[in-house]
Amino acid sequence: MAPAPTPDGPPPAPVAARYRIRYARRGRLRFSSTRDFARALERALRRAQVPMAFSAGFHPHPKISYAGGAPTGMSSEAEYFEIGTTQALDPERLRADLDAALPDGLDIVEVVPAGPGSLADRLEVSEWVIAFPEIAPADLEAALGDLLALPAITVTRVLKNGPRELDVQAAIVRATAGEQEGYAILQLVVRHTTPAVRPDDILTALRETIGFAPARPPRVTRLAQGPWDPATGQVADPLAADKDAAASSR
């Protein structure tokens, strides 16, 4: 049997360091998908001359992994990815260089050296705020109360393998209605399930079961994602363990 073909040239340089990065998707760039961001990021990495680590093989690609991307059309203050580099870098310099190379609205917020463990495993819940124009806060509060009083909350969404019934009730960790800057707002903490229950699924449940159907679409923003801390009732920082590990190694 003939030996398997191998790429010409030397093997790629090994990974010397990994970094976990939080970025925001704001303004009109909320309509960009994770794939759009990946293309923009690879261009930014080249412009910023970041020494990226690459995979081996005939089609090498940068060693970048994404975790928990928000649906297209939703703003987010807490998107995450991890990159491997062929040399150690200053995290703040990497943050500034990448932020300058990306378009406005795709903003690098924080860079930390990757510690042990999986970043994706820490992203247990997401905190969302949904702002409704031209809706009275009292109407939103009443609709939410009626929804949460139901014995079960399910919606059907068409996935790649066909329609799937989603248990919205099991995914909701916390849901409150209020007012902020003149808008009726719905604040949600939603558990990351498989398949994921998204804010638009909760909006579908409000429309289909309660008849709450605003004339104008709301603005949806992810404020945080990470581990759920029942003691504080808050979403914890998923990069906290990496920061602690970096501090202890100094």
Taking residue 23's Cβ as centre, other Cβ atoms within 10 Å add up to: 23
Q: What percent of the chain has pLDDT over 70?
A: 96
129 CB-near residues (< 8 Å, 6+ apart) = 180, 185, 186, 187, 188, 220, 221, 223
Confidence bin at 247 (pLDDT 50/70/90): confident
Mean pLDDT of the chain: 92
Rounded Cα distance, 16 and 36, in Å: 27
Give the predicted TM-score (pTM) of the model. 0.91
Domains of the chain listed by start with CATH number: 17-118 (3.30.70.580), 125-226 (3.30.70)
pLDDT recorded at residue 194: 87
Distances in Å between the alpha carbon of 14 and those of 61, 69, 249? 13, 27, 22
Asked if the model's pLDDT at residue 225 lies above 80, the reply is yes
pLDDT recorded at residue 7: 66
What distance, in Å, lies between the first and last C-alpha atoms of the chain?
A: 53
Taking residue 187's Cβ as centre, other Cβ atoms within 10 Å add up to: 15
Asked if the model's pLDDT at residue 8 lies above 90, the reply is no
Model confidence pLDDT, tens digit, residues 150-177: 999 999 998 888 889 999 999 999 999 9
Across residues 92-102, what is the average pLDDT? 96
Model confidence pLDDT, tens digit, residues 60-76: 889 999 988 899 999 99
